[in-house]
Structure 1
Amino acid sequence: MKERERQMEITLGHTPDADDAFMFYGFARGRVGSDKFKIKHVIQDIETLNKRALAHELDVTAVSAHAYAYLKDYVILRGGGSFGQRYGPVVIAKKDSGLTLETLTDAQIAIPGKMTSANLLLKLAIGRKFKEIEMSFETIPRAVLAGEVDAGLVIHEAQITYDKAKFAALLELGQWWDSQTAGLPVPLGINVASSRTMDPTQLKEFSDLFVQSINYGLENIDASVDYAMQYSRGQPKDTIKKFILMYVNEITLDMGQDGRRAIEKMFSMAKEQKILEFDVDVKVV
């Protein structure tokens, strides 16, 4: 009883996406745990988690790397980051739209959230003149096809599942980022923990525990993918597995210097282009 009383309850936010589910499989199925923490899972879309982190409502949460610029009293966990390797969000338009990369700057573009890293990368690539139309990420391809917007910024598994017979890829942001940064990984999602509710020892202990959960998923891929299929949004297992392994890999276990440099580079580019008006101190546990 005394051991249980010493447990700290952690509100842990993550998205209803296959890669997040894969990473948290060890926690969710009780394969990884600690007598020091009692975990309460909070599952919401990434932009909602970004906003909840701004309000400091969660102890640990997945957020867009972009959102970190606006957070107070959160530090980045070394594990759990989603980084692309020459791949990432894609801007799509109908094949017969007549849009080109050059005319995107004046287009109406559906985005999956203002604080998403995808939105910041798009602004870095083409500037801020385009008209952003914020909508749920899963509705973007349909909105483009229906002509409700000129183009759409697709994330998650839609990066690899959009119908190439109907859509043209006007801008591959992963390739653009690679060309601008001499090969740094594309910073998309990270996990942050509250330095307001957790002391340095707890932050380090939870960070290590989270890495154990990710590693458990990688060591038990079939079972972890099966668990993640509840968030497949109708996609077949082989597609979900491909998507998961694009974003859960060695850099997910530990972002290291390259991951940190990538986040710092994104923020420095944003300040140079006056998208951000301040420096961002990137703190990693």
Structure 2
Amino acid sequence: MSKILVAHSPDADDIFMYYALYFGWINNKNIKFENIALDIESLNKGALQSKYLVSAISFGMYPFIKNNYALLNTAMSFGNGYGPKLIKKKGKVLKNNFKVALSGELTTNAMIFKIKYKNVRIVYKNFLEIESAVLSDEVDAGVLIHESILNFDESLEVEANLWDIWLELAKDELPLPLGGMAISRSIPILRAIEIQRLLGKAVEVAVNNKKILSKMLKNLVRVNEEELETYLNMYANKDSINLSLLQIKALDKLFEIGFNAKIYKDLINIRDFLIPIEYESLRFS
């Protein structure tokens, strides 16, 4: 039995999608999964260094690691009518060069934000510190992600929703690609297919047993039961089980936007960077 370390973020949807494996709900005799939870920017930087064999990443940084990682077709989070929020103190008027806190230089939300707001002064912080940075006037505004979008201080208000900015940039009503799972190309392809299948099954089992698993996770997440249900319905749902054609179109649009903004050197088609699951049937035919 081989050991595979899965690196994911500590937000509720990542924990939810992984923990069916942790609790032994998935029948598996060949691979022992272990996990580590880190903030998304640490995961992104770790992927740049090929630190983890399987890691959650921001979709926006994938083109920078495409030669070392393939994308899994499961355990992803998209926004659909919602997403990260730019918040500020109520009544505050933001100048053209306002100071803003973002959750990381390599995050999808940072990429979209910087294309829209070209003159701002950016500082990067752990996502858990952004609200307090706005409240203390260390920054003029901040982009909230993960569960923070559901419940923030009543003295704050939403200046802009990144969902609206995404629609403006995409010029099409596509789901907003936020985060997914990447797998190292050092893993043999048949083993990579098996890992993808097991992780996909874990997401499916979690989604189909949401109430049971949510109760088991209540001491591991930062939100109450009601907020957890809302959050999981947003980011860990049936659309997280298998990458759809619409989601593929959205990813291609994200990479096209980044290429046109000169963030990426190459324009990539996401289909070229998914695990070729057809190899398994061809190999043994």
**TM-score, normalization by structure 2:** 0.90
1:250 corresponds to 2:241: no
Residues 146-171 of structure 1, C-alpha deviations (whole Å, 9 max, x = no match): 100010010001112123x3112111
Shift of 1:142: 1.0
Question: Which residue of structure 2 aligns with residue 86 of structure 1?
Answer: 81
1:189 corresponds to 2:179: yes
Secondary structure of 1:161's partner?
Answer: coil
1:184 and 1:30 mapped to 2: Cα distance? 35
Aligned AA for 2:50? Answer: H
1:10 and 1:87 mapped to 2: Cα distance? 33
1:225 and 1:268 mapped to 2: Cα distance? 37
Paired residues of 2:6 and 2:35 also in contact (CA < 8 A):
yes
1:226 and 1:121 mapped to 2: Cα distance? 35
1:110 corresponds to 2:104: no
Q: 2:157 aligns with which of 168, 179, 188?
A: 168
Aligned AA for 1:98? Answer: V
Question: Which residue of structure 2 aligns with residue 148 of structure 1?
Answer: 138
Paired residues of 2:100 and 2:140 also in contact (CA < 8 A):
yes
| Shift in alpha-carbon separation, 1:68–1:33, aligned structure 2, 3 A | farther
Secondary structure of 1:24's partner?
Answer: helix
1:22 and 1:203 mapped to 2: Cα distance? 21
Shift of 1:276: 2.6
Which residues in structure 2 correspond to 1:121-270 (within 5 Å)? 121-127=112-118, 129-163=119-153, 165-181=154-170, 182-196=172-186, 198-233=187-222, 235-270=223-258
Aligned AA for 1:110? Answer: A
2:82 and 2:31 mapped to 1: Cα distance? 35
Across the aligned residues of Structure 1 and Structure 2, the Cα RMSD in angstroms comes to: 1.5
Shift of 1:179: 4.3
Shift of 1:281: 4.8
Unaligned 5+ segments in structure 1 are 1-6
Aligned AA for 2:120? Answer: F
Aligned AA for 2:250? Answer: A
1:228 and 1:214 mapped to 2: Cα distance? 15
1:32 corresponds to 2:26: yes
Unaligned 5+ segments in structure 2 are 276-285
Q: 1:17 aligns with which of 11, 33, 38?
A: 11
1:185 and 1:22 mapped to 2: Cα distance? 21
2:183 and 2:102 mapped to 1: Cα distance? 26
Shift of 1:212: 0.7
**TM-score, normalization by structure 1:** 0.90
Paired residues of 1:271 and 1:278 also in contact (CA < 8 A):
yes
Question: Which residue of structure 1 aligns with residue 44 of structure 2?
Answer: 50
Aligned AA for 2:234? Answer: M
Regions of 4+ moved over 6 Å = none
| Shift in alpha-carbon separation, 1:45–1:33, aligned structure 2, 3 A | farther
Question: Which residue of structure 1 aligns with residue 71 of structure 2?
Answer: 76
Residues 5-38 of structure 1, C-alpha deviations (whole Å, 9 max, x = no match): xx22211111111111110121110111421211
2:104 and 2:29 mapped to 1: Cα distance? 37
Q: 1:98 aligns with which of 93, 97, 100?
A: 93
Paired residues of 1:86 and 1:178 also in contact (CA < 8 A):
no
Question: Which residue of structure 2 aligns with residue 8 of structure 1?
Answer: 2
1:236 and 1:90 mapped to 2: Cα distance? 20
In the alignment of these two chains, the number of paired residues is 271
| Shift in alpha-carbon separation, 1:228–1:118, aligned structure 2, 3 A | farther
Aligned AA for 2:150? Answer: I
% identity of equivalent residues: 27
Paired residues of 1:79 and 1:255 also in contact (CA < 8 A):
yes
Shift of 1:54: 1.1
Aligned AA for 1:265? Answer: K
Shift of 1:275: 2.6
Aligned AA for 1:108? Answer: K
Question: Which residue of structure 2 aligns with residue 4 of structure 1?
Answer: none
Shift of 1:96: 2.7
